[in-house]
Amino acid sequence: MKFLCLFYFSPDAFAGISPEEMRRFDDATIEHDHKLRASGHLLLASPLADVSTEEVIDRRRRPARLTETDGPYAETKEVVGGLVLVEARDMEEAKALFADDPIAAHCRIQIRALRDTDRHSQTGEGRPEFKLG
């Protein structure tokens, strides 16, 4: 099974960390990513650009009234700062993959299984296969 892991950070998650400490921390998280890759679990891992660079497309139908947002556009104080896509036997194994991840001390990790059984209602065709590059 494939699992999408979203890493949520508060705006002050790294407040007070020196640039040198941040470099060591980045190195530790990259080492963890390599460990996941070597064990055959990691499909993709990436931090995201700063939330100030995001654009939001919202085409949901709503009552015709003016709403304003001042950004960042997430509806929470936490923002998604990174994502990881892993392959695991089940949710328990997926959770265990992050038991020693150094980033876990600074964020909340949401893990959700990808649905791989969706089929087109008319043709029965599945979604395109996962492909990087």
pLDDT digits (tens, 9 = 90+) for 15-45: 999 999 999 999 999 999 999 999 999 999 9
**57-88 CB burial, b ≥16 within 10 A, e <16:** eeeeeeeeeeeeeeebeeeeeebbbbebbbbb
Residues 6+ apart with CB under 8 A from 2: 43, 85, 86, 87, 113, 114, 116, 130
Alpha carbon 61 to its chain centroid, in Å, reads 26
Q: What is the pLDDT of residues 36-80, one digit of tens each?
A: 999 999 999 999 998 888 888 888 877 666 555 555 554 568 999
* Whole-prediction pTM: 0.81
